A and B are shown apart, each in its own frame.
Chain A
């Protein structure tokens, strides 16, 4: 075949190379994408057309990142969210938080279906009841009764009490949680809207807490500030449920592997189907008004007070919140998994009990600025499990110094034979969940794999040998005695 292709004309060769170049370029384009997201470029914004101008800074920021934005009014029929069982958009932002009724195909079920089909969501809550208030409990959010926004009288300011500056730098983020709002968010973030308490759900985590002095209250009633409905609801849920810094105003939800069961051949590669949903208490966080609004701060100095006006952090915060939801940051994947015996290379079909096993994996993280997957050594608490029903071995999978993105560990296979699984299950809030399982057989030693003679067994060997020697001696003497007797008999 080779000799034939060599004999072909140079024209066909150049055509072939041209085609291959175009093909490879296409492949690169499809894999890289032009936006900062690791899952897709298309964004659907559900918004009243009249309010489009209110979010221009945020939407321009998204377009600058490479997203293509499609608008759809809440009651418009097109474009559809899901067509022929496939999602039409990679990401959906629902900014129409005050709309009461939506088109037929925008409903709680379809939003959940979008998540399982691989579409990321940014959902903003309004003060009135709509489809999102009924969807929120499905995500373990506890909403206060309708029309009770977050209220805070501190710090002293000229704005109304339900327009609240939130300090991002004082937010508490646990070590193992991805910090969605980076240090690039400078200044306070303006917020106005509904807060929510979080039920304990491993998939849900707070992105922005409410200030400690704030609480949910009914502002329409000027006299009391606490409505009967809120008092009743608080009594049900417990006092202080909708007050203080345990409340969140922005929360993130990382789904498990969409669609499949997460086990067996259904599990897939594990990272491409995971989706994210962000719940924001008020759509005004993304608005131009708040992005431009200055934060007035009074700084106490030696001689009186100084009034400083700082720009708000809303613009950057809005982009980072949407960026996390669109899987720009905190996105991990397992590239490669290898395992072999110590002092050997290459995979083995099965291990023997008590073998020393080397397990190595390579993990990449998506870099939104280069739009490429880069090897990532930053995971400090990755673990490997060697399981047969129960984990028989659970060991730390530590990064290998000098090899970026490589994590490796050496462990002894348990003294137990059967079909074991190497399991990586890394689920940290804000990060893509890493799941990987690989089955391998662990067999007992072969018949010639044991030491044949053991020093501990020498008494038994001696017993058996002495019996045999005794038997031989016995036979010899017995026969000799018989011969003697016969002689005697003959003599007689």
Chain B
């Protein structure tokens, strides 16, 4: 595992020149950003990002429904919305901890430990959510 991680770190280090040279108009900046992301991000982080996007979309949908249609029953809204927000926070923390770029900051936290923390926190979160839902 360790060599793989070192390669990703080196590749992420190599995307710096692309970012600095992109002083051009927005479309090219976005495409450059997108290109860098697809090229330089590991599939694991991409997978985590996909889950984050899903959670964000779900939370936004619920919030829009609450504002436009009804907030009744309010406890169900709170539970549904909080589950997406909470899961997002937990998943984002996991992403921070398994991101090879942050290896120096989380020296003492192994990936397995990070994942176990994530699962533990999520289970507690879902326990509260379902208690509050009905």
Q: Does A491 contact B (CB under 8 A)?
A: no
Q: State whether B119 touches A466 (Cβ < 8 A).
A: no
Q: State whether B76 touches A461 (Cβ < 8 A).
A: yes
Q: How far is the CA of A452 from the CA of B75 in the complex (A)?
A: 12
Q: State whether A452 touches B54 (Cβ < 8 A).
A: no
Q: Does B115 contact A (CB under 8 A)?
A: yes
| B-side interface mostly | helix
Contact flags (1/0) for A453-492 with B, using CB distance below 8 Å?
A: 1101101111110111011001101110110011001000
Q: Does B97 contact A (CB under 8 A)?
A: no
Within 8 A of A (CB), among B77-125: 77, 79-81, 83-84, 87, 91, 111, 115, 119, 122
Q: How far is the CB of B55 from chain A (nearest CB, A)?
A: 7
Measured between beta carbons, the chain A residues less than 8 angstroms from B87 are 467, 470-471
| A-side interface mostly | helix
Knowing A460-B62, A461-B76, A461-B133 are in contact, say whether A467-B55 is a contact too (CB < 8 A): yes
CB-CB nearest in chain B for A489: B1
Measured between beta carbons, the chain B residues less than 8 angstroms from A468 are 83, 126, 129
Measured between beta carbons, the chain A residues less than 8 angstroms from B69 are 459
Q: Does B26 contact A (CB under 8 A)?
A: no
Contact flags (1/0) for A95-130 with B, using CB distance below 8 Å?
A: 000000000000000000000000000000000000
Q: Does B16 contact A (CB under 8 A)?
A: no
Q: State whether A470 touches B62 (Cβ < 8 A).
A: no
Q: State whether B80 touches A459 (Cβ < 8 A).
A: yes
Q: Does B70 contact A (CB under 8 A)?
A: yes
Knowing A471-B126, A481-B44, A489-B1 are in contact, say whether A463-B62 is a contact too (CB < 8 A): yes
Within 8 A of A (CB), among B54-76: 54-55, 58-59, 61-62, 65, 69-70, 72-73, 76
Q: How far is the CB of A387 from chain B (nearest CB, A)?
A: 29
Within 8 A of A (CB), among B16-66: 43-44, 47, 51, 54-55, 58-59, 61-62, 65
Q: State whether B83 touches A464 (Cβ < 8 A).
A: yes
Q: State whether B76 touches A460 (Cβ < 8 A).
A: yes
Q: State whether A485 touches B4 (Cβ < 8 A).
A: yes
Q: Mind listing 22 A-B residue pairs with CB under 8 Å?
A: A453-B134, A454-B76, A457-B76, A459-B80, A461-B76, A461-B80, A463-B58, A463-B59, A463-B61, A463-B81, A464-B83, A464-B129, A466-B58, A467-B55, A467-B80, A471-B122, A471-B126, A474-B47, A475-B119, A481-B43, A482-B115, A485-B1
